[in-house]
Structure 1
Amino acid sequence: MEREHKLAIGDLDGSLHQDLVHALHTAINEPGASQYPSPLGLASTRSKVADYFASAHGVELGPKGVLITHGALPAIYFGLRAAARQGRPCGFFKPYFNAFPATVVGSGMLPVPIPLPSGRLQKKDIGDLFAMLTGGVLLLNNPHNPTGRTFDYDELLVIRDVCREFDIRILSDAVYNELYETDRPISLIGLEPTAIEAISISKTFGACGYRVGSVAGNPNWIASVADRYAVLNGVPYAAQRVAEYAWSHMPGVSELRKEIASRRVVVVEALRAIGFKVDTERQNLSSMFVWAKLPEMSAPASLVVQRSAAFGVHISNGEIFGDESGRFIRIALNEPSEQLAEAMSRLTFAMGDVNEAA
């Protein structure tokens, strides 16, 4: 049977870095590995997260400014619950990570997708839109999934200032913060002391199955998250110890950045060759995805995704990310370049099949 190319979900195809495997083997033989972990996280893991923010972003966090979570999504869910703004709006830029609407609803807030301006973000672009979020929360995804866009310093200042004007609290989702190609994205909590930010080891270290994340920032908001998170037993000890090593030593990360950049070139060039439009000036600069617009005369994304799957290439329909035009797809750069090239060859055949059907 021919290889299936699973490029719909952001789940890197590869084994855990050997240094992290060694850290796991060491941790499972430590006394704490068989005990119930604290819902706050190990003190040592929280300290390593604080050290990471200090070294990577110049942000100093006290011991009460970090909580360890079961990945980034629980951090976001409990963070929204702890914001204590139930019944109020929670905004996020559209297109959006497809789990955001349900997470917002589950937290008791009202999801409000905000159209993402195509140019550099300015107050005139978002002032009126953010007024709809008055008294609520902004869920800021930076780097942005699915587009791969990164908000720069001045754009983040605009977002911060407008949020202050309308009493909007900011919860930053920064899970792709280490998967950049040029400049490291800026941590929002370094600019806004009232905000909190979620990170995880899932994407940066290809450790999605380990379910270790963290939420950091404003200690009062973190304390409120911790009160709610206390209903859980906490992240498994051994997984936290792996995360400690990951955040302290960043094994293989610089190599992964280069690898993802090379994979992106393969996919972008192949897509452009068959008529896709791929913005690499404002988008597709960070994260592990390619966000691409279908050729003008092509059938809608739903049919492209369906026919692509028939050729063994599984990609995402942009409609699940709030694209109402039905003209975008997202491809996860999960595989090595050679395999991605083969997947793009199949997609080329699929597009011919789609066009014939259309």
Structure 2
Amino acid sequence: MNNLAKRVQTLTPSTTLAITAKANELKAAGVDVIGLGAGEPDYNTPENILTAAYQSMKEGKTKYTPSGGLPALKKAIISKLEKDQNLSYEPKEIMVGIGAKHVLYTLFQVLLNEGDEVIIPIPYWVSYPEQVKLAQGVPVYIEATSSQAYKVTAEQLRKAITDRTKAVIINSPSNPTGMLYTKEELAELADVCRESDILIVSDEIYEKLIYGEAVHTSVAELSEDAKKRTIIINGVSKSHSMTGWRIGYAAGDAEIIKAMTDLASHSTSNPTTTSQYAAIEAYDGPQEAVEEMRQAFEARLEAIFPKVAAIPGFNVIRPEGAFYLLPEVEKAAHKTGYSSVDEFATALLTEANVAVIPGSGFGAPKTIRLSYATSLEALTEAVERINQFVTSKWQD
């Protein structure tokens, strides 16, 4: 007897979580594993945010809140969007949820009918296709190769649109590539969306982690039309090192936001109350810790990028945001005796004791993802282990 619904039988397990579980298993057995799979900052949540959360609990603010978030948190988000992106929203255009991931899930649930298509650029964050499928939608992929800096073009987008297309996902800065769309590139994509009258799901969760001369632009900033058809997805997880607090938000069309809020009222009741008060402080309080963390990630990138680029058989593009490198390593895999990058990544874990994420989970099977959200000392040691592993096994 099969008791499972069809919609969950096609789910692909998270590659990130699977590798992390294996790495933790080895660590528990006493193996000195260095994990480069982390999708979260290695900093604690800033002290002022911890204090605000504790104070809210002491004041008895531990009860239900409105399903779509506390009015004070919506106000803080609106203020943030106006300050950072010069965008104006009303409270009815904001929905707060249990992390950006669940906000995205809720969005697809209210947007998609069976057979509706969502265009997803490759490489993609692992949960995009699965969430679309769970909403009975159809993921449609367009590949952004390393030769185009992992960014899709307007022409690629135009060719992928059909009469079933409902939306396109734009993730900038990107997980897993760290690449950032320029204002001009976004404008070209927005024009295609306007021509075909499709929605834009703009995942901006890494917007505060930008390096060098790069500048983050939200596609919603570009024009009134772009703003109307864009749903911004963001949250405090990456910007304020609050991954476990689970607070994300959507900003956009009031009708869509209302539907998301109504769905949340029947599924989650409300985001965790204490976390909401913490998020208010995250947005309204001092931001020095955010910049301190960004600078630390940039320093790690400066130090580690040339070392990764120098590993034989590795081809890596310098990212402009987030905290990931996505080197193409197919040549290194083959030259060291492995038939696939997945096998190569497994060997790195079991033989070199370095945990990386195979790119197959991101739709990019020639790559591995390396996170530099760990100490520079650990990063340096991990890259040295990878280099020694490759050079010792290299076969000409």
Alignment TM-score, normalising by the size of structure 2: 0.83
1:160 aligns with 2:190: yes
2:124/2:176 contact within 8 Å kept: yes
1:330 aligns with 2:369: yes
Offset at residue 288 of structure 1 (A): 1.1
Aligned runs of 1:73-92 on 2, under 5 Å? 73-92=101-120
Q: Distance in 2 between matches of 1:349 and 1:330?
A: 18
1:183 aligns with 2:214: yes
| 1:237–1:128 CA distance, 2 compared to 1 (3 A) | same
Offset at residue 258 of structure 1 (A): 1.3
The corresponding residue for 1:59 is 87
C-alpha RMSD over aligned residues: 2.0
Q: Distance in 1 between matches of 2:278 and 2:264?
A: 21
Offset at residue 122 of structure 1 (A): 4.5
| 1:133–1:186 CA distance, 2 compared to 1 (3 A) | farther
Aligned runs of 1:106-145 on 2, under 5 Å? 106-116=134-144, 118-119=147-148, 122-129=153-160, 131-132=161-162, 134-145=164-175
The corresponding residue for 1:31 is 60
1:245 aligns with 2:273: no
Map Cα deviations across residues 103-129 of structure 1 (whole Å, 9 max, x no partner): 110122111111125437653343212
| 1:354–1:53 CA distance, 2 compared to 1 (3 A) | farther
Whichever residue aligns with residue 203 of structure 1, its letter is K
Whichever residue aligns with residue 219 of structure 2, its letter is L
| 1:158–1:116 CA distance, 2 compared to 1 (3 A) | same
1:100 aligns with 2:128: yes
| 1:133–1:285 CA distance, 2 compared to 1 (3 A) | farther
Q: Distance in 1 between matches of 2:293 and 2:320?
A: 14
Q: Distance in 2 between matches of 1:6 and 1:132?
A: 41
1:189/1:217 contact within 8 Å kept: no
Q: Distance in 1 between matches of 2:152 and 2:245?
A: 35
Considering fraction of residues, name the structure with more helix. Answer: 2
Q: Distance in 1 between matches of 2:168 and 2:187?
A: 14
Whichever residue aligns with residue 53 of structure 1, its letter is L
The corresponding residue for 1:316 is 357
| 1:353–1:228 CA distance, 2 compared to 1 (3 A) | farther
Q: Distance in 2 between matches of 1:302 and 1:265?
A: 27
1:91/1:114 contact within 8 Å kept: yes
1:178/1:184 contact within 8 Å kept: no
The corresponding residue for 2:337 is none
Whichever residue aligns with residue 75 of structure 1, its letter is V
SS in 1 for 2:202: strand
Residue from 49, 54, 73 that aligns with 2:77: 49
Residue from 18, 39, 44 that aligns with 2:47: 18
Offset at residue 298 of structure 1 (A): 3.3
The corresponding residue for 2:26 is none
Whichever residue aligns with residue 92 of structure 2, its letter is K
**Greater CA drift, 110-119 or 53-62:** 110-119
| 1:103–1:84 CA distance, 2 compared to 1 (3 A) | closer
SS in 1 for 2:326: strand
1:196/1:222 contact within 8 Å kept: no
Map Cα deviations across residues 190-246 of structure 1 (whole Å, 9 max, x no partner): 231221111111111221111111111222221121121111221111111111111
Whichever residue aligns with residue 234 of structure 1, its letter is N
1:172/1:196 contact within 8 Å kept: yes
2:330/2:341 contact within 8 Å kept: no
Q: Distance in 1 between matches of 2:296 and 2:81?
A: 24
The corresponding residue for 1:344 is 383
Offset at residue 295 of structure 1 (A): 6.4
Whichever residue aligns with residue 29 of structure 1, its letter is K
The corresponding residue for 2:248 is 213
2:37/2:371 contact within 8 Å kept: yes
Q: Distance in 2 between matches of 1:91 and 1:240?
A: 32
| 1:266–1:230 CA distance, 2 compared to 1 (3 A) | same
Q: Distance in 2 between matches of 1:253 and 1:3?
A: 31
Q: How many residues align?
A: 350
Gaps of 5+ in 1: none
Whichever residue aligns with residue 341 of structure 2, its letter is A
| 1:30–1:24 CA distance, 2 compared to 1 (3 A) | same
| 1:354–1:223 CA distance, 2 compared to 1 (3 A) | farther
Gaps of 5+ in 2: 1-29, 335-339
Whichever residue aligns with residue 130 of structure 2, its letter is A
SS in 2 for 1:304: helix
Map Cα deviations across residues 296-327 of structure 1 (whole Å, 9 max, x no partner): 3533321321122123211110111101xx32
| 1:41–1:55 CA distance, 2 compared to 1 (3 A) | same
